[in-house]
Amino acid sequence: MSDAGTVASARVRKHPPAAWHVATVADSRPETPTARRIELDVPTWPGNDAGSHLDVRLTAPDGYQATRSYSIASAGAGTRVVLAVDELPDGEVSPFLVHDLQPGDKLELHGPLGAFFVWTPPDVDEAPRPVQLIAGGSGVVPLYAMAAAHAAAGDATEFRLLYSVRTPEDVFFRDELAALAAAQPSLQLDFVYTRRVPDGWSAPAGRVTKDVLDAATVAAASRPLVYVCGPTPFVEAVAGWLIDAGHRPGDVRTERFGGS
């Protein structure tokens, strides 16, 4: 193999191949007052990178199809795939997934998907970089997968999650995140509550601002990889402030969601 070939193969990561699968619902339970955690058994699943998503396709009896994308909360090998779906009351697919889907039901899905908004542990010959995760609401789902993959890899790289959420009850993966942070000194959690704060919380309720971002994220001088996921206005505001703060555009990876 030539030197050039070695360089290229180090740069190009292979992702598990995407395909259409039939999943069986193994479990569905409340995650927050508006969301459910749905666990799927997918016998043909090839595993997935942390941060990737899948498309769920529902077909009505008359043949009408609706396809929506959902981030995957699980990562790595294995055929158990975990979703956490927030209900959008006007949505076409999420109310069905939250209210009607029962264990034993079958779902048609396409995945794993996404080669851009994924995090993989650094290769042995690769200098590790700190990672800053920034979540708005249910945008935490792929970022939780990254934090869990970081812990599973025993990676000592600095990892920080800034999580903007309405109230303490709306926190996704609350117990799991607390357990990860307790077991993993390199993971730091920072919460911003936009509507109601927990008892004894020092800051008033309010949105993420440029000042919050500067105070509670890895500084641009440390050259972190930054992953931002949330509703479109949240992602656009945060990404703009990050660039203003000196982060390089190529180091800021974004994923927007909305209306499903």
Partner 1 sequence: MTKLDGNVLAGRLTDALGWDATAADARCATCGAHGAIAVAVVYLTAMGAVARCPHCDSVLATFVESDGGRVWFGMPGISALEVTH
Q: Which residues bind partner 1 (CB under 8 A)?
A: 8, 12, 15, 18, 53-55, 63, 65, 67, 69, 110-111, 113-117, 232, 253-260
- Smaller CB separation from partner 1, 193 or 257: 257
C-beta closer to partner 1: residue 55 or 105 = 55
Measured from the CB atom, is 91 or 184 closer to partner 1?
91
Q: Least distance in Å: CB of 178 to partner 1?
A: 28
Contact by Cβ (8 Å): 124, 76: no
Q: Which residues contact 32 (CB under 8 A, 6 or more apart)?
A: 86, 169, 170, 171, 172
Q: How far apart are CA 35 and CA 95, in angstroms?
A: 10
Which is closer to partner 1, CB of 59 or CB of 209?
59
Shortest Å distance, C-beta 200 to partner 1: 38
Closest CB 46 distance from partner 1, rounded Å: 13
Going by C-beta distance under 8 Å and a sequence separation of 6 or more, which residues neighbour residue 217?
Answer: 132, 134, 160, 162, 190, 224, 226
Closest separation between CB of residue 226 and partner 1, Å?
A: 14
Q: Which is nearer to partner 1, 27 or 92 (CB)?
A: 92
Work out how close the CB of 67 gets to partner 1 at its nearest, in angstroms, rounded to a whole number.
7
Please identify, using beta-carbon distances, which residue of 65 and 102 lies nearer to partner 1.
Answer: 65
Nearer Cβ to partner 1, position 19 or 179?
Answer: 19
Nearest distance from residue 182's CB to partner 1, in Å?
A: 31
Residue identified by tokens 């699943």 is 45
Q: At closest approach, how far in Å is the CB of 92 from partner 1? A: 9
Could you tell me whether strands 65-71 and 53-59 are parallel, antiparallel, or unpaired per DSSP bridges?
antiparallel
Give the whole-angstrom CA distance, residue 239 versus residue 224.
14
